[in-house]
Amino acid sequence: MAAAGKCGVDRNERQRKQRWQEAAAARLGPLWERCVVVKDRSPRTRCRAAGGGGRQPPPRFGGSRAGPLSGKKFGNPGEKLTKKKWNLDELPKFEKNFYQEHPDVVRRTAQEVEQYRSSKEVTVRGHNCPKPIINFYEANFPANVMEVIQRQNFTEPTAIQAQGWPVALSGLDMVGVAQTGSGKTLSYLLPAIVHINHQPFLERGDGPICLVLAPTRELAQQVQQVAAEYSRACRLKSTCIYGGAPKGPQIRDLERGVEICIATPGRLIDFLEAGKTNLRRCTYLVLDEADRMLDMGFEPQIRKIVDQIRVSINGSCI
């Protein structure tokens, strides 16, 4: 009896729909003949194709930025950015080697260098790698930088700092691998300050000289906390831009001019596409936790950003 009752209900429903279609055809005339009824088997998106009586499906989260007719749900980050074409004859030259070996470092023998690296578990690959520095004074940092170091009661450089500072101060490319909490932030920030101090002052409309890319806003904020104390002591300006925060204050910082910019790739690309900043003056680039950024799929964004940075005189990217 239950099955028979169900069949009766289905038959009545079909008859009701048929009568509705006939009535609609009588009202619409030739227009109804041109209507196409599309059946969607998806249970989420069912709507009627005639008369507008059916309820339209709600828009899905993350719909297309390019409009309802686009086949892509999201635009490609940085798709509006084109690779810069630099005229090497017009690019101003800049200095990036500021390292002068301290006499104590010069007197250090190869055996002493190897013994230090072995005790700190430092592995070096490459040619003509500078000797590590063992004491802070051997780095020849500016006096205001040394004052901050003394206030923080640091006794000696960590392993990544001892070997990384001479490399970065020499203007060489470096890939540094160190554990969390090993002082790697200062290993690139202090040479960045020295680099900035030897560059011309920022002019109106100039972007940052030092760019630090970080995978997450938490890491970017941590780097900014370290950079803020040293940059204030050196009368430099730094800012941190990341997603999930209002754009207004970040844009104001960039428009006022900053020497150091710590950024997540997505938010930086947004500002580059909108013309809120540029990388014409960037001559010091850092990828903090580069392996993590690659694991998170940031490689296309990083390539887009690097394409906006000037090349050196020999034609290679800074």
**Same domain for 153 and 231:** no
Asked if the structure places residue 229 within a domain, the reply is yes
Residue 90 covered by a domain: no
Q: What is the pLDDT of residues 27-53, one digit of tens each?
A: 545 444 433 333 334 444 444 444 444
107-136 tens-digit pLDDT: 999 999 999 999 999 999 988 899 999 999
> Which residues are CB-contacts of 102 (< 8 A; sequence separation ≥ 6)?
133, 137, 138, 139, 140
For the stretch 208-244, pLDDT in tens is: 999 999 999 999 999 999 999 999 999 999 999 999 9
Other beta carbons less than 10 A from residue 21's beta carbon: 14
CA angle 71, 73, 74 (to 5 degrees): 120
pTM of the model: 0.74
User: Do 258 and 208 reside in the same domain of the chain?
Assistant: yes
Number of independent structural domains in the chain: 2
- In which domain, by residue range, is 222 found? 199-318
CA atoms of 68 and 65, how far apart (whole Å)? 8
For the chain, the residue count is 318
Q: How many CA atoms lie within 13 A of 202 on its CB side?
A: 26
Give the pair of three-digit tokens for residue 157: 């450089």
Q: What is the DSSP string of 196-232?
A: HHTSPPP-TT---SEEEE-SSHHHHHHHHHHHHHHHH
Higher pLDDT residue, 299 or 16? 299
